């Protein structure tokens, strides 16, 4: 290359400092460029003078193109920490409050539902206990089926209700129906009594596992286990009917009948007991909660039993003429059937916190 070439090169690089910014932009040079930018412009000029195509590059330097990944990540982490420091305690407190409310069963819709007070529905027999004439249900909750205020809590060790008087109860070989709402504790042994009339007509349960049970029914000559199961901590309605004409026992779970079983003759006699057996069957204590126990001196029909279940845990009896005992266990052990078969409780607590595990039919 000639001397004129280098002279022109140097003149363009070190041009007059007083040149205007417009002139510098037109020639693509800046006098005070950094060293790397200056080398880039020199290379560009050489290529232009030698007739080579210029290499197109962004006017931005590599440092300008480089994204500040580390800085962005640091900013995000810092923002997250600031958020946690600002709202973390509030979130923790809300979580603790929600857990407390759940443990207190405050999310159960029945916790704040209207409740029937003790004796708010009872059967009236104008002609005295045992009479079937002009029988009627009297009280503000007899037709609206409000849930009870209390349920009977049995400790599984010594709790029971003895019913010494059994006015109008069936005796000998006779038809009978028994039903109860139960919520059994876990880890109970087999055969805890729910209701027993002498050595016969027993509702109890059979333990499949520590938390799963079968309904179990006994008569004078046989006991059988219903293959259907229910879980501890859940309210269910269980019971049975015995028809003296057919000799069949039918077990019921939540209003649904099981397979009829030939039960042989009954030998019904008093006294009766709730939460424990009687006589040789004593010490089969039930652990859990019981409510709305009903006994009839007839074999109820399937529609009657379905209606009884659909009324729920606070439902009134369905067949008043054949009702012989009704123990809601709503704050006491009184018989509200009008037959005065009142019970005497031992170590039974009437709890208002019974609604856990209950769902309306």
Task: Dump the DSSP string for 207-230.
Answer: EEETTEEEEEEE-SS-EEE-S--E
Does 154 map to a domain?
Answer: yes
Both 40 and 127 in one domain: the answer is no
Final residue of a structural domain among 25, 48, 65 = 65
Q: In this structure, are 252 and 342 located in the same domain?
A: yes
- Is the pLDDT at 336 greater than 80? The verdict is yes
Inside any domain, residue 91: no
Q: How many whole angstroms separate alpha carbon 237 and alpha carbon 117?
A: 21
Beta carbons within 10 angstroms of residue 26's beta carbon: 10
Is 18 a residue whose pLDDT tops 60? no
Q: How many angstroms separate the CA atoms of 252 and 257, rounded? A: 4
- 146 and 282 part of one domain: yes
CATH of residue 137: 2.60.120.200
281 and 157 part of one domain: yes
Q: Which of 19-28, 166-175, 245-254, 329-338 has the lowest mean pLDDT?
A: 19-28
Least confident span in 42-46, 163-167, 338-342: 42-46
Looking at the structure, tell me whether residues 30 and 139 fall in a common domain. Answer: no
Is the same domain home to 255 and 147? Answer: yes
Q: How many domains does the chain have?
A: 2
Longest dimension (CA), the chain: 141
Percentage, residues of the chain above pLDDT 70: 69
Residues 135, 283: one domain? yes
Q: Give Cα 135 distance to the centre of its chain.
A: 40
- Tens digit of pLDDT for each residue in 135-152? 999 999 888 878 999 999
Is residue 251 located within the same domain as residue 122?
Answer: yes
Is 163 part of a structural domain of the chain?
A: yes
Is the pLDDT reported for residue 308 higher than 50? yes
Q: Do 193 and 271 share a domain, yes or no?
A: yes
Give per-residue pLDDT as tens, 153-197: 999 999 999 999 888 888 878 899 999 999 999 999 888 999 998
pTM of the model: 0.71
pLDDT, tens digit, for every residue of 68-94?
545 556 676 677 677 667 766 677 777
Structural domain span for residue 194: 116-351
| Residues 153 and 302 grouped into a single domain | yes
């Amino acid at each position: 290359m000639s001397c004129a070439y280098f002279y022109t090169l140097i003149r363009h690089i070190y041009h007059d400092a007083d040149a205007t910014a417009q002139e510098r932009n037109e020639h693509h040079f800046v006098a005070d460029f950094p060293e790397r930018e200056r080398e880039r412009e020199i290379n560009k000029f050489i290529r232009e003078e030698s007739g080579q195509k210029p290499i197109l590059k962004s006017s931005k330097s590599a440092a300008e193109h480089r994204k500040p990944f580390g800085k962005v990540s640091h900013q995000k982490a810092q923002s997250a920490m600031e958020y946690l420091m600002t709202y973390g305690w509030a979130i923790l407190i809300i979580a603790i409050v929600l857990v407390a409310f759940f443990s207190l069963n405050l999310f159960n819709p029945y916790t704040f539902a209207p409740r029937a007070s003790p004796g708010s529905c009872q059967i009236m027999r104008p002609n005295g206990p045992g009479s079937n004439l002009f029988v009627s249900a009297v009280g503000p909750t007899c037709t609206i089926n409000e849930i009870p205020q209390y349920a009977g809590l049995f400790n599984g060790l010594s709790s029971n209700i003895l019913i010494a008087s059994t006015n109008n109860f069936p005796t000998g070989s006779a038809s009978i129906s028994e039903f109860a709402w139960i919520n059994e504790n876990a880890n109970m042994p087999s055969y805890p009594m729910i209701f027993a009339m002498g050595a016969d007509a027993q509702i109890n349960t059979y333990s499949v596992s520590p938390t799963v049970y079968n309904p179990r029914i006994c008569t004078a000559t046989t006991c059988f286990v219903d293959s259907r199961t229910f879980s501890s901590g859940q309210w269910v309605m269980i019971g049975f009917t015995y028809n003296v004409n057919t000799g069949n026992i039918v077990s019921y779970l939540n209003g649904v009948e099981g397979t009829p079983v030939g039960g042989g003759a009954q030998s019904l006699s008093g006294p009766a007991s709730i939460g424990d057996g009687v006589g040789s069957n004593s010490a089969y204590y039930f652990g859990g909660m019981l409510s709305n126990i009903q006994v009839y001196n007839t074999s109820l029909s399937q529609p009657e039993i379905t209606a009884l279940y659909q009324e729920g845990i606070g439902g009134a009896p369905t067949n008043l003429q054949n009702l012989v005992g009704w123990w809601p266990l709503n704050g006491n052990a009184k018989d509200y059937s009008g037959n005065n078969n009142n019970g005497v409780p031992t170590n039974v607590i009437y709890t208002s916190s019974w609604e856990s595990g209950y769902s309306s039919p």
